[in-house]
Amino acid sequence: MFSELLPNQYVKSIYDIDLNALRDRGIKAVITDLDNTLVEWHRPGATPEVKQWLKELEKTGLHVTIVSNNNEKRVKTFCDPEKVVFIHSAKKPMRRAFRQACSQMGVRTDEAVVIGDQIFTDVLGGNRAGLYTILVVPVASTDGWMTKVNRRVERIVLKWMRRKGYIHWEDEA
């Protein structure tokens, strides 16, 4: 059970992910969360830095799909100006949206990576779907009410994992 909560990789932000290294190990596609992974949960559009990161994905030859539990209006508002494919109301950690994203991008699950800021949605869902998972530190210290509940439980699980030696990074996500 706890192994499904462990990300394959942990980084401070999306900008710390070596896109060339992902491509070199056979990754062809990125499935990323939106809120508090790419931008703050209340920011409607992409920052200049996120726009540049999305361009870097394209330059590296990686397809991208945003998979979010948020509603269509919120996700569409962010994705349409950037011309990014998305799946809204994903019901993460259910596997369906992750598999759908892979299918739409024409890749196998072993050719895709999931990037997200939450263990119980992004990491658990990605691991359950057989994807490589990368956990990032949330870009904002504030969250919606449901995410606040998840974060409290997440901190307990992370402390337990650290004590048991399952994780080795210094800062908590």
In terms of CATH, what superfamily is 2-140?
Answer: HAD superfamily/HAD-like (3.40.50.1000)
Q: Which residue has the tokens 């196998």?
A: 108
**pLDDT per position as a tens digit, 25-54:** 999 999 999 999 999 988 999 999 999 999
Segment among 26-40, 89-103, 128-142, 157-171 with least mean pLDDT: 157-171
The more confidently predicted of residues 152 and 134 is 134
pLDDT at 154: 78
Q: Can you list the pairs that 79-82 forms with residues at least 24 positions away whose Cβ atoms lie under 8 Å?
A: 81/45, 81/46, 82/46, 82/51, 82/54
**pLDDT per position as a tens digit, 69-93:** 999 999 999 999 999 999 999 999 9
**How is the chain split into domains, by residue range?**
2-140
Q: Which of 116, 107, 58, 68 is nearest to 88 (CA)?
A: 68
DSSP H helices, the chain, are: 19-24, 48-60, 72-82, 96-105, 124-128, 145-164
The 3-state DSSP class for residue 159 equals: helix
Single-letter amino acid, residue 59: K
